[in-house]
Structure 1
């Protein structure tokens, strides 16, 4: 690694970005991505599930590259490449001359969370990009003691909040560092710190306004997850959390991050290393909260993604020469696993059943499935296609022929500024068998058949088809945007 020059590093990053853009073209769009594509066609200050940044990114990408997979995902690989450069610069600012920044960026890119997450666009993608940018600003602030970096940090933190609510841990971590670190406390009396905080709030204010106008729906949904009681045991949830991180960070890099953060804690306590304190404050409080949450409920595997930029910096900065081979092994394993996951998602060379292949369950067979749905619609003379699941409805809107309208049913669509279908129209409701044998949400639905979504002959999911009619006093309905 030390033999690598900056040019080699930049060429490697450029090649990795090109590979991710190619994967973005080849891998089918997932239901969540299709749902966020609907957001990008119905832009709003916020949404029921998350803040709006992912919608802005998709709207920009599709304006440049169209409504296909590349347009939807375009800004992800590019943003992650920029974030990698900023993280490398942050490491150089915190650990001058030790090439820790390059190691941190390489380790982060070798995780599945960052590697595959840069191809599939979700709110975590812009969150991690702006999170890395905020760490870069904080590192430059620490190295230069120039208060103007607080303004940059405030904007980056605000944009991270505009991406996902877990960005609040960024502010929490910085406040802990300011209070606990003696060298940082003088900033509490400087106007630049407070101006940076005001900029963060200003960036986030559209989300606050939207929630106030919609009964605080998004805050209530996401805030209700914290501390809610689950039905499993604490040991089970903790095991799922740790096991998920071992898989998503890859085992060697996960261990390197844990050891690196532990050594950073030692350096902060024993040597009053302010750089170590910054990394600890950005990692440990959020990690502790996720562990506490796992004692009573399931923590989704992607939630701790925000821990890894600072954890990789700690691993790069505090694990010296004896750990070099482990770093190399971790990077090699991580890149190999990432490549295998991308190839399986794009080409499915290994014929695995649904229970063993998450790429089949989420990504497999959507274009062919949409063609079957269109054939059934034409046979029944239906004027539209409908779905209860938001991801299924969005996939159909994305893959059905241009001009075929998709109607989504469910309470969440009341929060969108989307038109409703006219009364008395007849349609074809597509309903997954996973929803059970109970009646559809659409009153008066009459089952007319069924179809199967499959990839290379391997079943992904079964669906029932129902004939439906729009009634004036029916449940909330929304006409999804047409593909351009």
Structure 2
């Protein structure tokens, strides 16, 4: 009996990756559902419009993602597929690196290690969200992973043979492209500096020109951003260093604590336990040791910087996403295969289903009588767009605007018009596209709501009247109810 049963054991062992692949597939199905159906979130549509106005850089962020969105529009047209197809390309690139890491970390159990790594990554609400929504982050994240992979391969080759500079330059180029996607990728570069200083075998690099030339290559990639800011009065830098902070910076001990709590929620408290375990362990194997040192260096640099900043100003959880990109998938063995892994999966599944309901059915807060403007304002733009087009058909010379930058982008995406603008006191990218003097005396069709009211825009016209209100409902409750106005006689203030 024992001899007869023996041949069946091997296939079972070979298929032990299957449960992990199944749970990873569950998250991929949810990602596909949201990609195909979810209306553009405000900033998604905002970045899409950037791509329709090609430039060297932009007010809020660097330009690489916008350039690629313009390419997607040219290839596939103006639709949700074009908006989000890049998120699949960047996830595929990330998973290719995970496959390589799995082969190095667990050569005898590669499929199981890979699928656990993938499931852990996608079960984190932070990474499922940021690999689904077409923000700049998904591109930056993939480039960070690719750059770190090239750096680890370089370190391996240089420590063994004293060569491999092509990999160093590749890592530097990818780092530069990551920063050209979003500024907070700079923490990867700072992590590299700590990594090289921590490893005695890499410190001789400091005496070679290649390390410094690679650093200059990363900086040179930012040339479009530097030039755009020089021509625009350093608008991006002024925004990020001064304009975005509300009031004077004040020391606070509560804010860093809140920042950590939010990070635990969005990354997953169970994954966080695994990350702490991983950072405290000394792994086996040269590649595993290097990977932990690099991931730990990036985690420490980014997290400490965010904690210090949170002590003085409001910091958003996704600003620290670079800290977790490397350390979370590498913490596979620290999270394990049993209770901690499956608690993380259950937590991630619950949060993912909540996200799906929130974005595709109704804002969760609204169901219970609250009002979440940020989510509510993502609903109903196809219908709102049709109503706006009907009003504009009666006033074909009027330009179209809204009272806030995200709603302007969502309306522009819905009606396929990159010239929709925002008439808002907030400084944003629309200020660089819209020429008020060119529209002096014109009429406008304006969309506003109860949070971002029409008051500011109304002061810029001779008269303004409501034309119709559009009510978007779900479960018998009004989710979002913007009003469409007809404004006559645009009279902007004289240019300063």
TM-score by length of 1: 0.83
Report which stretch shifted further, 23-32 or 275-284.
275-284
In the TM superposition, 1:244-393 aligns within 5 A as 244-261=262-279, 263=280, 273-316=289-332, 319=334, 324-348=338-362, 352-353=367-368, 355=370, 360-377=375-392, 383-393=398-408
Which residue of structure 2 aligns with residue 451 of structure 1? 469
Report which stretch shifted further, 453-462 or 169-178.
453-462
Which residue of structure 2 aligns with residue 426 of structure 1? 443
Which residue of structure 2 aligns with residue 482 of structure 1? none
d(CA) in 1 for partners of 2:335, 2:492: 68
- Please, which of 109, 123, 143 is the counterpart of residue 136 of structure 2? 123
Q: C-alpha offsets along residues 382-402 of structure 1, whole Å, 9 cap, x if unaligned?
A: 7232223111111222223x6
Report which stretch shifted further, 415-424 or 112-121.
415-424
SS of residue in 1 equivalent to 2:445: strand
d(CA) in 2 for partners of 1:352, 1:183: 58
**Structure 1 moving runs of 4+ over 6 Å:** 5-15, 225-233, 379-382
Q: Does 1:435 align with 2:452?
A: yes
- Please, which of 479, 486, 489 is the counterpart of residue 460 of structure 1? 479
Superposition deviation, residue 97 in structure 1: 5.8
d(CA) in 2 for partners of 1:295, 1:403: 42
Q: 1:315 to 1:274 in 2, by over 3 A?
A: same
Superposition deviation, residue 340 in structure 1: 3.9
Which residue of structure 2 aligns with residue 141 of structure 1? 154
Superposition deviation, residue 199 in structure 1: 2.4
Which residue of structure 2 aligns with residue 175 of structure 1? 193
Which residue of structure 2 aligns with residue 45 of structure 1? 56
SS of residue in 1 equivalent to 2:343: helix
Q: What is the aligned length?
A: 468
SS of residue in 2 equivalent to 1:129: helix
> Which structure: larger Rg?
2
SS of residue in 2 equivalent to 1:386: strand
Which residue of structure 1 aligns with residue 216 of structure 2? 198
Superposition deviation, residue 459 in structure 1: 2.8
d(CA) in 2 for partners of 1:416, 1:112: 34
Superposition deviation, residue 362 in structure 1: 4.2
List runs of 5+ in structure 1 lacking aligned partners: 477-484
d(CA) in 1 for partners of 2:240, 2:172: 23
Q: 1:277 to 1:405 in 2, by over 3 A?
A: closer
**Is the CA contact (8 Å cut-off) linking 2:48 and 2:69 kept in structure 1?**
yes
Superposition deviation, residue 474 in structure 1: 4.1
Q: Does 1:105 align with 2:122?
A: no
Report which stretch shifted further, 160-169 or 144-153.
144-153
Superposition deviation, residue 256 in structure 1: 2.0
SS of residue in 1 equivalent to 2:422: strand
Superposition deviation, residue 239 in structure 1: 3.9
SS of residue in 2 equivalent to 1:385: strand
Q: 1:210 to 1:256 in 2, by over 3 A?
A: same
SS of residue in 2 equivalent to 1:435: coil
SS of residue in 2 equivalent to 1:113: helix
**Is the CA contact (8 Å cut-off) linking 1:176 and 1:281 kept in structure 2?**
yes
**Is the CA contact (8 Å cut-off) linking 1:42 and 1:416 kept in structure 2?**
no
Which residue of structure 1 aligns with residue 7 of structure 2? none
Q: Does 1:155 align with 2:173?
A: yes
Q: C-alpha offsets along residues 267-308 of structure 1, whole Å, 9 cap, x if unaligned?
A: 79xxx9544322211111111111122222221121111111
Which residue of structure 2 aligns with residue 55 of structure 1? 66
Q: 1:224 to 1:405 in 2, by over 3 A?
A: closer
Q: 1:379 to 1:63 in 2, by over 3 A?
A: closer
d(CA) in 2 for partners of 1:341, 1:458: 19
d(CA) in 2 for partners of 1:189, 1:309: 30
**Is the CA contact (8 Å cut-off) linking 2:274 and 2:335 kept in structure 1?**
no
Q: Does 1:397 align with 2:412?
A: yes
Superposition deviation, residue 104 in structure 1: 3.5
Report which stretch shifted further, 235-244 or 14-23.
14-23
**Is the CA contact (8 Å cut-off) linking 1:112 and 1:248 kept in structure 2?**
yes
d(CA) in 1 for partners of 2:482, 2:251: 33
Superposition deviation, residue 185 in structure 1: 0.6
Q: CA RMSD in A?
A: 3.6
d(CA) in 2 for partners of 1:404, 1:42: 8
Superposition deviation, residue 10 in structure 1: 7.9
Q: C-alpha offsets along residues 122-156 of structure 1, whole Å, 9 cap, x if unaligned?
A: 11111111111112112222333333211111111
d(CA) in 2 for partners of 1:302, 1:115: 12
Q: 1:280 to 1:376 in 2, by over 3 A?
A: same
Q: Does 1:211 align with 2:229?
A: yes
Superposition deviation, residue 162 in structure 1: 0.5
d(CA) in 2 for partners of 1:320, 1:423: 62
